[in-house]
Structures are given as C-alpha cells and as structure tokens.
Amino acid sequence: MKDVYRKYKLKVGLEIHFQLNTMRKLFCHCPVGLTHETRGFKFERRLRPTQSELGQVDPAAYFEFQKGVKIIYYAPEDYTCLVETDEEPPHTPCMDAIKVALRVARFFNMNIVDEIHFMRKVVIDGSNTTGFQRTALIALNGFFTLDNKRYGIQSICVEEEAARIVEKKGNYVTYLLDRLGIPLIEISTSPDIESPEEAVKVAEYIGRVLQATGYRRRGLGTIRQDINISIMDGTVVEVKGVQKLETLAEVIKYEFERQVNLLKIAEVLKNRGVDADSIDREKHVDITSILKASSSKIIRRVIDKGGRVYGLKLPGFKDLLGFKVARDKTLGKEFAERIRFWTGVGGLFHSDELPGYGISKDEVDRISKELDLGDHDAFIIIGLDPGLAELAFNKIKERAKEALNGVPYETRGALEDGSTYYMRPRPGMARMYPETDIPPIYVSPEIIKEIESNPIQDPESIIRGIADKTGLNLDKAYQIFDEGLVDIFNKLYNKFRKRFSSGFLASVLLDYPKALEGEGIDTSSLTYELIEEILNGVMNGLYEKESIYDIMKIVLSEGISVEKAVDKLKLKKIELEEVRKYVYEIISSREDIMKMPPDIRRKRIIGIVMSKYRGRVNPKDVINIVEEALKNGL
Ligand SMILES: [Zn+2]
C-alpha cells in the first residue's frame, strides 16, 4: 500500500488546533470550559459580508449571506461577558496562552516573530458574534525529527475558538457562546507526510508535545485537524474538521482514492477531446413536456409544485458520471453536492443511471434526441424552480470544467466514517485584516528568557521516565501520558505503591472509567480525591480491592458518598469469625460436597464462600480458613 502512495506522490500537511486550558479565555476573563447551564440570555443577529480593504467580498462569506440565515446566540451567564456578545472590545490577550505557543515554537526550532499582531479573519457562518475570528502568528519555519525523518513546521498561531452550534433548523442556527474565545493553538506542518499511517504518527507526536506543556485541554472536540492533501498532477484539497486520530487515516485514504480516480476521469476526457469551450457552449433545455407524464415521483412532485425540468448535455461524459470516485460515491454525486450547496435543490439524475427511478427508456431516448447526444455524451436533468435554473446549470458546467483538470480546488468536510463531501469554495486571500482593538505585543528578551527557563520536556523521555520509575509497562505509560493522567498517576503511585502495583493503579485510572462509560455512566466527576478516598478504604481494611469498581459505579451513577455506597453494597468487611462459622456450616450440611475428592472439595467450598463474601474478605484468609477447617474436620 505504501508503494501506491509513493507512486502517486501523496503529500499531506496537517493543521492541528488544540484548545488550551488556561485560567481565562483569550480576550476576556471568563473561565475556559463548557456548561450545561441553562441560565443566561438569548439574542438574534443577521450577519452581513463586510468588504475587505481591497474592496472584495469573500465568495464564501457572500454565499452564507445570500442564504439569509438568521442566527440565535445563547450566552450562559457564568461563561460569557460583554466580550463574547461583542458589546465590549477585547481585553488584553491571555499571556499564558501566548507563552504556551512560544514554548512550542522553541521546541520546534522556529523563528519567533518580534511583535505579535492579532488579525481579523472573516467568518460569516455566525460562529463568531463579531463576524471575524482573531488570530495571531507566533512563529514560522521550524522542524522536528521523528523516526529519523525531518518534518517541517510552517507556522504556529494563537487564535480564539468559535462558538458551538447547538441547533440548525430551517433558516435558524443556534450557537452557544461558552466555547467562544477559548484559546487555540494552531500548528501547521509542511506537506512532508507521505502516507495515512505517517499522518497519524505525526499528529500523535504533536499532540504529545502539546500534552507536555501542561496546558492541553482534554475531551472530545478539544482537538481539530484540517488536512491538506494532494497527489502528483493534482490540486491541494483542504479537508476540515477531523476530530479523531482514527478518522484522520481514513480521510486521507478516502481522499487519495478520490483524487486518483478524478485524475483518471480527466485523462479519459482529454482523450475524448473535451475542452472547456465544448462545455461552455452547451445550454440547458426545458424538457418538462417530455417528462410531464413520467412515473418518476420526484419529477412529478417538482412539476406539480410549479417547477420545471431541465436537461443539459455534457459532451464526452458518458460512463463517467456513474464512475465511482471513492467508495460508493460517483462523480454524478459530486455534481449533486455542488448543486445542493448552491441552490438547496436535493438531487439530479444523470444518463449513466437511467433508465431508472421511474424514468423510462423511451423518455431517456427522447431526452437524448432533444439534447442531440452523441456516442460519448452524457446528460444531467434537474427539476427545480425556473428562477434557480441558470445558477444550477452554471455550477454544473463549472464542476464539469473542473473535471477536465482532475481535482477541484475546494474545501471539503469530513464525516466520521472518513468520507469527505463538498463543503464550500476555497476562501479568497482577502479574508485577513488587522485587529485595531488589540495593540501589538512586543516579544521582549524577558519573555524569551522566561519561556526558555521553562522548556517543554520531550514527551518520549517523560513517558520512559514514568515506566522506569514505577515499573509500569511502556504501553500503559503511553496511555497515562496521552490521557493527561501523569500527575494523578504519580500522586497515586507515591501514596499507594506499598499496597497496589503500578499496573493496578494504571488500570483504575484507565480501564475502570472506560468500562464505566461502556455501562453508560458519566465519569466526568471522577476526581483524584474520589479515587484516593476509595483506595484509602482498602488501605484501612474496610473492603477489598475487588470492590473498587462497584463502589465507583454507585458513587458516580447515584451521586452518593463513598460511605453510603459501601453501605449499599453491604461491603463492610466482615469478621473472620463469621466466615469460619459459614465454612463449618457448609462442611456439616453439604454431604454431596464432602463426598468429592479432596482437591475438588476444597475448591468448591472456597468458591461458595467467595461468592457470598466477594470484595468483603481477603481471598487468602478464606483459603486459610477452609484448609484449616477441612483439616480439623477430618
Ligand atoms: Zn467573557
């Protein structure tokens, strides 16, 4: 597989965004965190595209505006102030966030800027109340070495996180403002990555470097990766919004396959002599009269609503619209995604999939004749409001012309399964202009001295250090580090190492919460203090370590104290005298067991006793008592 990627010269660059858990947000003093809180207030805005200083309106921005979307903001009291609602200018930037970025820049051997200037990047999807996102370049041109290969780091920026979408309904989008303004650090690598596996390795490594700063926020959605992917003779495609490492590899595989196939299609079109002029010459034709009696429900519904059906000849596209570009997605589907984006019209039919969908062979023949189709030609039909026809078919022709060059220059979105879809045109360059509300920050020798006195420790050496010191196996040490549990693990290890092995402590931190979540239990309130309290109970002989999981489960799911949970589980450690009594009871009453061979008999009795007292008595004590009783009884 690696050879295939090499053959097509796959090149991947990553743009990774990490949320930082600083004491405050980037431009105000609200705390960093998300809330379920419902107190707060709502307000509504409609965003307009502002012209940049060059007098151009960004196409992406203009489009969102055209769609006429109204935006509702919801501002939870404890996590927002007048800055998030754009009633007040930004406060001085959070220096902790900037210092983290500077430390990362040093770690990656980068050139740090002399002055940090915040810029405004236009965003008009409503994710920011101001209509722009503030971003500042911190450093340029660095590198790191991983498994003997050198990877370039192009830039590091600090920016503000966007508001989060909670609902999208009709013409309304609702955003929650708690997330708006959380500091983000954006790290962009050079396109040095040559396979999906390598991308995962690099992303993992950069994530660990961020982890080692001590400021990386944890949890779902706290990291977001944009991927730039290209192959030989293609165009760089930007895929946005990958949250998980597993998805990262899948997206690259998917895009690779897609781009290779798009280039194959371009080759066929070239051989058939199709050029941009031949596509531009075609004009969409009203074919409603041919289909007015069609048994296609979709077509009938359009006509009944007063819409018209149009057809467009695509010269040289025969068998290409039905061609699968990636997994099950055909080129025809890519055309459909474009139309949906620009007009909101749900679908189209193309000649490679017809007759079908209720459209008969006879109807196809008549359409072909009407559109004057040649041997290698294809057609597309769309039913829609006549007012949208011009736009829809211009976009079809645009996409068809892009097929001549293979891979279109566009921004795509990623889905969980790794597939990608057309998201929007690539934004123009006119998106950035200076933020005049924030004075530039001079990166003084004092600041440099300060960050150099606090360098980021190499993650690998931290992880090896944990393994060496505690005897934990390396795999588990990696997990402890990656989950951000190093401090908690060290504290637990120092306190409990005489009673519990490092492997057991790691398991309590890693496996128990995972298993609890598997049972549908929210573990977000599982703190160090709670774990410490539960482990202390074992130390004090109140119950055995086998009960730790059950206690955790009850405390977290019912929100009660450890003491109450222990009561509930009837886990109060029982006196050995009681165990002894029970053993004698079994010996005297269970003749069936006493007739068994000695070894099986012993095991059976231990089994019965353990099942009654599990977690409340040390298994070693049970074994001793049973053996003693059997000896005495004989
Ligand atoms: Zn605030």
Q: Which residues contact residue 520 at a Cβ distance below 8 angstroms, ignoring those fewer than 6 apart?
A: none
Are 115 and 76 in contact by the 8 Å Cβ rule? The answer is no
Q: How many whole angstroms from 182 Cα to the centroid of ligand 1?
A: 10
Q: How many whole angstroms from 309 Cα to the centroid of ligand 1?
A: 52
Q: How many CA atoms lie within 13 A of 48 on its CB side?
A: 2
Residue whose entry in the numeric block shows the structure tokens 């290779």:
260
| DSSP assigned state of 218 | P
Q: How many whole angstroms from 116 Cα to the centroid of ligand 1?
A: 22
CATH class of residue range 272-406: alpha beta
Q: How many CB atoms lie within 10 A of CB 569?
A: 16
Q: What is the pLDDT of residue 549?
A: 92
More confident residue, 244 or 154: 154
* β-strand partners of 566: none
Q: How many whole angstroms from 42 Cα to the centroid of ligand 1?
A: 15
Q: How many whole angstroms from 159 Cα to the centroid of ligand 1?
A: 15
DSSP three-state, residue 244: coil
Continuous segment of H or E residues that includes residue 230: strand 223-230
Q: How many whole angstroms from 138 Cα to the centroid of ligand 1?
A: 23
Q: What is the pLDDT of residue 114?
A: 96
DSSP three-state, residue 152: strand
Q: What is the pLDDT of residue 39?
A: 67
Q: What is the pLDDT of residue 345?
A: 82
Q: Is the pLDDT of residue 177 over 70?
A: yes
Are 108 and 101 in contact by the 8 Å Cβ rule? The answer is no
Q: What is the pLDDT of residue 62?
A: 53
Residue ranges near ligand 1 (ion) with Cβ within 5 Å: 28, 30, 81, 83-84
Q: How many whole angstroms from 78 Cα to the centroid of ligand 1?
A: 9
Q: How many whole angstroms from 450 Cα to the centroid of ligand 1?
A: 27
Q: Is the pLDDT of residue 61 over 70?
A: no
Q: How many whole angstroms from 127 Cα to the centroid of ligand 1?
A: 15
Q: What is the pLDDT of residue 221?
A: 82
What are all long-range contacts of 571-578, with beta carbons under 8 Å and residues at least 24 apart?
A: 571/542, 571/543, 571/547, 571/615, 571/616, 572/542, 572/543, 572/616, 573/541, 573/542, 573/543, 573/544, 573/616, 573/617, 574/613, 574/616, 574/617, 576/617, 576/621, 576/625
pLDDT cut 70: percent of the chain above it: 94
Q: What is the pLDDT of residue 543?
A: 84
Average pLDDT over residues 171-200: 94
Q: Is the pLDDT of residue 49 over 60?
A: no
Q: Is the pLDDT of residue 52 over 50?
A: no
Continuous segment of H or E residues that includes residue 60: helix 59-66
More confident residue, 452 or 69: 452
Residue whose entry in the numeric block shows the structure tokens 């589980």:
569
Q: Is the pLDDT of residue 422 over 80?
A: yes
Q: What is the pLDDT of residue 372?
A: 94
Q: How many whole angstroms from 36 Cα to the centroid of ligand 1?
A: 17
Whose CA is closest to 60, among 366, 406, 424, 373? 424
Name the most confidently modeled range: 509-513, 545-549, 584-588: 509-513
Q: How many whole angstroms from 303 Cα to the centroid of ligand 1?
A: 52
Q: How far apart are CA 96 and CA 314, in angstroms?
A: 57
Q: What is the pLDDT of residue 524?
A: 84
Q: What is the pLDDT of residue 633?
A: 63
Q: Is the pLDDT of residue 47 over 70?
A: no
Q: How many CB atoms lie within 10 A of CB 419?
A: 18
Q: Which of 41-55, 71-85, 104-118, 546-560 has the lowest mean pLDDT?
A: 41-55
Average pLDDT over residues 209-224: 90
Q: Which of 213-217, 297-301, 573-577 has the lowest mean pLDDT?
A: 573-577
Q: What residue ranges of the chain are covered by domains with CATH 3.30.1360.30? A: 272-406
Q: Is the pLDDT of residue 302 over 70?
A: yes
Q: Is 141 left (phi over 0), alpha (psi -120 to 50) or beta?
A: left
Are β-strands 308-314 and 285-286 bridged in parallel, bridged antiparallel, or unpaired?
A: antiparallel
Q: What is the pLDDT of residue 167?
A: 86
Q: How many whole angstroms from 75 Cα to the centroid of ligand 1?
A: 10
Continuous segment of H or E residues that includes residue 246: helix 245-271
* Residue 24 binned pLDDT confidence (cut-offs 50, 70, 90): very high
* Residue 53 binned pLDDT confidence (cut-offs 50, 70, 90): very low
Give tens-digit pLDDT for 332-362.
999 999 988 888 787 899 999 999 999 999 9
Q: How many whole angstroms from 181 Cα to the centroid of ligand 1?
A: 8
Q: How many whole angstroms from 169 Cα to the centroid of ligand 1?
A: 27
Q: How many whole angstroms from 135 Cα to the centroid of ligand 1?
A: 17
* Residue 571 binned pLDDT confidence (cut-offs 50, 70, 90): low
Give tens-digit pLDDT for 227-237.
999 999 899 99
Q: Is the pLDDT of residue 25 over 90?
A: yes
Q: What is the pLDDT of residue 87?
A: 92
Question: Cα dihedral angle (31, 35, 39, 42), rounded to 10 degrees?
Answer: 90
Average pLDDT over residues 604-631: 85
Q: DSSP labels for 434-473?
A: E-TTS--EE--HHHHHHHHTSPPPPHHHHHHHHHHHH---
Q: What is the pLDDT of residue 1?
A: 63
Q: How many whole angstroms from 524 Cα to the centroid of ligand 1?
A: 24
Q: How many whole angstroms from 83 Cα to the centroid of ligand 1?
A: 5
Give tens-digit pLDDT for 607-618.
998 888 877 788
Q: How many whole angstroms from 180 Cα to the centroid of ligand 1?
A: 9
Q: How many whole angstroms from 226 Cα to the centroid of ligand 1?
A: 27
pTM of the model as a whole: 0.82
Average pLDDT over residues 536-541: 87
Q: Is the pLDDT of residue 70 over 90?
A: no
Q: How many whole angstroms from 223 Cα to the centroid of ligand 1?
A: 21
Average pLDDT of the chain to the nearest whole number: 90
Give tens-digit pLDDT for 190-205.
999 999 999 999 999 9
Average pLDDT over residues 378-403: 93
Average pLDDT over residues 68-85: 89
Q: How many whole angstroms from 93 Cα to the centroid of ligand 1?
A: 12
Q: Which two tokens stand for residue 379?
A: 């057609």
Q: How many whole angstroms from 81 Cα to the centroid of ligand 1?
A: 4
Q: Is the pLDDT of residue 63 over 60?
A: no
